[in-house]
Structure 1
Amino acid sequence: MAAKPSIPKGTRDFSPLEMAKRNYIFNTIREVFHHFGFQQIETPAMENLSTLMGKYGDEGDKLLFKIQNSGDYFSGLTDEELLSRNAAKLASKFCEKGLRYDLTVPFARYVVMHREEITFPFKRYQIQPVWRADRPQKGRYREFYQCDADVVGSDSLLNEVELVQMIDAVFTAFGVRVSIKINNRKILAGIAEIIGEADKIVDITVAIDKLDKIGLENVNAELASKGIPQEAIDKLQPIILLSGSNAEKLETLKEVLAGSETGMKGVEESEFILSTVAGLDIRNEVELDLTLARGLNYYTGAIFEVKALDVQIGSISGGGRYDNLTGVFGMPGVSGVGISFGADRIFDVLNQLDLYPKDAVNGTRLLFVNFGQAEAAYCLPVLAKVRAAGVRAEIYPDSAKMKKQMSYANAKNIPFVAIAGETEMNEGKFTLKNMLTGEQHAVTADELLAMMKEDAR
C-alpha cells in the first residue's frame, strides 16, 4: 500500500469552509482598505537574496527560506568548498533567491524600483503569504498570510489618525470588541534618556514590551540582566505602571519628560493623535499604553497594537511609524506609517466568538435533483435564472439514486433541494424541500425563484 501523502511541517491545507471564512476576513479588510484610498499591489513570492539578507538581523537571516539555483549549481564550487560542509557559505554560492520573509522589505524594494511611476504619498496594501523557516508550534506557521497597509512619502500625523479609524472600521465590521493601544518610540527614548540609560533603549523597550506576558518582576529581572542599574530600574517603575485617562497620562508625561526634547516630541505627537481621534466616531477604546514597545526596532514614532477584549489571544493587529523604509535600497528620507492585520489570529477570534455571517460561510443554497436527461433539461433553464438572481445553486451532475443526491446535499449543508420528476414536469412545477425542517411544497418556477431570492436577503 502506498504511503499516505503529507505536507511540509508548518504549512496547512484549508477546507472549503475554512477558505470561505478566510475569504470573508480578507474581503472585509480589503473593503476597508479601499474605503480609505489604499491601492493593492503584489510582489513575487521569491526575491533576490541580496534584497532580503541583512534586513532582519542575524536571527531573521537564519529564518529565510533559500531557493536552490536551477541547473548545475555545483559547477562553480571547488571540492574544498563542498567538503567544508559550511552550510551558510555553500548556500550563498548556489542560492540566489529566497521566499519573502515579510511584506515590508519587498514593499521598500518596490517603492525604490518604481519611484518614477508612483504618486506620493503612496497608499498601498498587500494581502499575500510569507514564509519563515521557524520551528512550527501552535499558532506559529512556516507559511502564513499578512494583510499590510502603509502610507509612504508623508510625515503628516493624519495618516496615524486614519490608521486608527481603519482598525476601528475593520473590527467593527467583524463584530469584535478590541482595545487599540498607542505609544510612541520617542516617548520610550525620552524615558531611557531621563533615567540615564539612553544607550540601552533597545534593551529597555524589548523588556517592557513583555510586561503582559511575563509580569513586572520578570521584566525588572530582564532589565537587570542587561546591565541596567537598580536605580534606573526604580525610576522606570512609576512610568511603566502609569494609569488614568489618556489626558492624565499625557499630563504626567509632560512633567516627567520635560528635560527630554525627544520625549516631549513623542508626547506632542501622541496628544495630537489621541485628541483628533477623540473627536471622531471611534467605537472601540483607544488607550495610551506606555508598556507597548513592539519588538521591531525600525519604528521611530507612533506605534499601535490591537488586543481582542473577549478572547484570550495575543496581538491581532499592529504597526507604527518608520522614518527610513527605503534607505537600505539607496533612497533615503522616505517616511512611512503602516499596520498589519493578523489574519490567522483574527480567524481564531471569529471562530471562538462564532461571528461569521451566514452568507459568508454558506455555499450552495439550492440543489436541483437529476433524475435523467429529460428532467435535467427541464431544470437547467430555471437553474440559470436562479443563478442570475444571485443565488448559489447547482444541479447534481449524474442521474443517481435519490438517497445519494440527498446525502450530497446534507454533506454540503445545502438547505434547499428542488425535485422535478414526471409528476412535477406534467404540472409545470417543482417540489421544493427544506432540508433543515423536512417540509416540502409544490411550487412553480416563478415561486421557486421568489423564495430563493427572499432566502438570499
Structure 2
Amino acid sequence: MFLGRFLKYLGFFISESDTEENELENKKIESFFREKFELKKVTQEVSEKALRYDLTVPFARFVAMNHGKLSFPFKRYQIQPVWRADRPQKGRFREFYQCDADVVGSESLWQEVELVQLYLKSFGELGIPVKICINNRKILSGLAEYADISEQLIDFTVALDKLDKIGKDGVIKEMLEKGISQEAVEKLNFLFEGLSTKDTLDLLKEKFKGIEVGEKGIEELEFVLNKALELGVNDEVLVFDITLARGLDYYTGAIFEVKAQGIQMGSIGGGGRYDNLTEVFGVKGISGIGISFGLDRIYLVMEELGLFADNKTPKIEYLFANYGDEEATEAMKVIQK
C-alpha cells in the first residue's frame, strides 16, 4: 500500500548507509543526537560513527552530495530501520522502521498540503482513523520573541514537546529549571488553556504585532489549513495544536504529528519543513519538507484495531499424502498454482 501511494505522490526511492558521522553533533544538530547509538572504535583510521537516528539528516547529506545531478523539486521515499538509545516498552523500540516521504528544492506551501493528503489517503486505506496535529516553528519562534526568550528557543521547544508525557506542571518546571524566567512562563501560560483554533489564532495575531517571524508563521499555517479545508479535509482531522513543538530543532516551518484516534499509542507519524539542513553539509538554499510513517507502531495500532483479523485474509490449507513419485508430481503442480 505504501509503495503504491509513494509511487503516485513521489517516485524516487533511495537507500542510505546505516551509520552517520558522529561529528555531526558539532554542527548544531543537537537534537539529532539526543538518543543516538554511538559506535566507538570502529577502526583506528576512520572517524567515530553513530547508528542512524532518522532518515532526514542522511537524506540532506545525499542531496548536498548530489545537488548538481538532481532535478528540483526532487521527491523521494525511503524505507529503512533507525535506532534510538531508548528503554524498550510498548510502542518504543531501540530499532524500528521508518517510512519517509520528502520533497526538496521547493518553498511552495502546496507541498505541505500534498503531504497532508498523502497521510490521509495512506491511513484511510489502512483503516486507521487519525488526527493530524499541525503547528509552525515560526510561531514558536514568535512566542519566544514575545516572551523575551529567543536565546532559549531550543530549551523552550524541547520542554513544550514533552507536554503529553509530563503535563503542564512538568513542562513549566522544566522551563524554570532551564533558566526561563517566571515572568516569561506567565506570559506563555495561555498556551495551556485549550482554546479553539480561531480563538488561538486571534490571540496570536494580537500578541505578534510587530513580531515578523510570528506573523509569517500564522500566514503559512492559515494557508495550509484553508487549502486543506477547500480540498475536503475535515477540520477535526487536521487540527492546529499550538503546543506541538517536535523536539528536532532542524525544523523551520510547518510541523506535523499524527496519532491514531481512540488508541493509547504515541505518534505514528510526524515531520515538517527544514530550510537549512543541507547547509550543514556545505550547500545552502535548498528548502525541504518531509513526513514519516512509524511502521512498527502502525502495525501495533492495526493489531489493536483488529485489522489483521483472520476473516480479512481467507486462506485454505492443504495436506498432501505422498505415496510416491507420481503423487509428489501432482502435489507440486498444485503448489505452483
* TM-score normalised over the length of structure 1: 0.67
Tell me which of the two structures has the higher relative contact order, counting C-alpha pairs closer than 8 angstroms and 6 or more residues apart. Answer: 2
Paired AA for residue 63 in structure 1: F
Using the TM superposition, give the Cα deviation of residue 217 of structure 1 relative to its aligned residue in structure 2, in angstroms.
Answer: 1.7
Q: Compared with structure 1, are the counterparts of its residues 204 and 341 closer, same or farther at alpha carbon in structure 2 (3 Å cutoff)?
A: same
Aligned position for 1:42: 15
Among candidates 213, 220, 241, match of residue 269 of structure 1: 220
Q: Compared with structure 1, are the counterparts of its residues 238 and 335 closer, same or farther at alpha carbon in structure 2 (3 Å cutoff)?
A: same
Using the TM superposition, give the Cα deviation of residue 326 of structure 1 relative to its aligned residue in structure 2, in angstroms.
Answer: 1.0
CA distance in 2, matches of 1:159, 1:174: 23
CA distance in 2, matches of 1:217, 1:51: 34
Matches within 5 A, 1:116-265: 116-244=68-196, 246-265=197-216
Aligned position for 2:298: 346
Q: Compared with structure 1, are the counterparts of its residues 252 and 43 closer, same or farther at alpha carbon in structure 2 (3 Å cutoff)?
A: same
Using the TM superposition, give the Cα deviation of residue 351 of structure 1 relative to its aligned residue in structure 2, in angstroms.
Answer: 1.0
Q: Compared with structure 1, are the counterparts of its residues 221 and 97 closer, same or farther at alpha carbon in structure 2 (3 Å cutoff)?
A: closer
Among candidates 256, 269, 272, match of residue 317 of structure 1: 269
What CA deviation, in whole Å up to 9, does each residue of 1:279-330 have, x standing for no partner?
Answer: 1133661110000001011111100011111111111111101111211111
CA RMSD between the two structures = 2.6
Aligned position for 1:367: 318
Among candidates 23, 27, 30, match of residue 57 of structure 1: 30
CA distance in 2, matches of 1:101, 1:310: 29
Secondary structure of the equivalent of 1:187? Answer: helix
Using the TM superposition, give the Cα deviation of residue 33 of structure 1 relative to its aligned residue in structure 2, in angstroms.
Answer: 1.5
Using the TM superposition, give the Cα deviation of residue 109 of structure 1 relative to its aligned residue in structure 2, in angstroms.
Answer: 1.8
Aligned position for 2:288: 336
CA distance in 2, matches of 1:268, 1:331: 28
Q: Is the 8 A contact 1:65 1:133 kept in 2?
A: no
Paired AA for residue 279 in structure 1: E
CA distance in 2, matches of 1:46, 1:54: 17
1:376 and 2:320 equivalent? no
Segments of structure 1 that go 5 or more residues without pairing to the other structure are 1-27, 74-92, 388-457
Q: Compared with structure 1, are the counterparts of its residues 228 and 46 closer, same or farther at alpha carbon in structure 2 (3 Å cutoff)?
A: closer
Q: Is the 8 A contact 1:52 1:105 kept in 2?
A: no
Segments of structure 2 that go 5 or more residues without pairing to the other structure are none
CA distance in 1, matches of 2:98, 2:20: 17
Secondary structure of the equivalent of 2:75? Answer: strand
CA distance in 2, matches of 1:164, 1:258: 29
Q: Is the 8 A contact 1:178 1:309 kept in 2?
A: yes
CA distance in 2, matches of 1:320, 1:295: 11
Q: Compared with structure 1, are the counterparts of its residues 138 and 117 closer, same or farther at alpha carbon in structure 2 (3 Å cutoff)?
A: same
CA distance in 2, matches of 1:62, 1:342: 18
Q: Compared with structure 1, are the counterparts of its residues 117 and 271 closer, same or farther at alpha carbon in structure 2 (3 Å cutoff)?
A: same
Q: Compared with structure 1, are the counterparts of its residues 65 and 140 closer, same or farther at alpha carbon in structure 2 (3 Å cutoff)?
A: farther
Using the TM superposition, give the Cα deviation of residue 114 of structure 1 relative to its aligned residue in structure 2, in angstroms.
Answer: 1.9
Q: Compared with structure 1, are the counterparts of its residues 210 and 62 closer, same or farther at alpha carbon in structure 2 (3 Å cutoff)?
A: closer
Q: Is the 8 A contact 1:38 1:149 kept in 2?
A: no
Q: Which has the larger radius of gyration?
A: 1
1:32 and 2:13 equivalent? no
Paired AA for residue 282 in structure 2: G
What CA deviation, in whole Å up to 9, does each residue of 1:155-200 have, x standing for no partner?
Answer: 0000000111111111111111111000001111111111222222
Using the TM superposition, give the Cα deviation of residue 107 of structure 1 relative to its aligned residue in structure 2, in angstroms.
Answer: 1.0
Secondary structure of the equivalent of 1:64? Answer: strand
* TM-score normalised over the length of structure 2: 0.89
Q: Compared with structure 1, are the counterparts of its residues 382 and 160 closer, same or farther at alpha carbon in structure 2 (3 Å cutoff)?
A: same
Using the TM superposition, give the Cα deviation of residue 218 of structure 1 relative to its aligned residue in structure 2, in angstroms.
Answer: 1.9
What CA deviation, in whole Å up to 9, does each residue of 1:196-240 have, x standing for no partner?
Answer: 222222222122222222121222222222222222211211234
Q: Compared with structure 1, are the counterparts of its residues 47 and 252 closer, same or farther at alpha carbon in structure 2 (3 Å cutoff)?
A: closer
Secondary structure of the equivalent of 1:68? Answer: coil
Matches within 5 A, 1:432-451: none
Using the TM superposition, give the Cα deviation of residue 67 of structure 1 relative to its aligned residue in structure 2, in angstroms.
Answer: 6.6
- Residue identity over aligned pairs, in percent, reads 49
1:296 and 2:248 equivalent? yes
Paired AA for residue 117 in structure 2: Q
Paired AA for residue 191 in structure 2: I
Q: Is the 8 A contact 1:179 1:309 kept in 2?
A: yes
What CA deviation, in whole Å up to 9, does each residue of 1:341-361 have, x standing for no partner?
Answer: 111111111111111365886
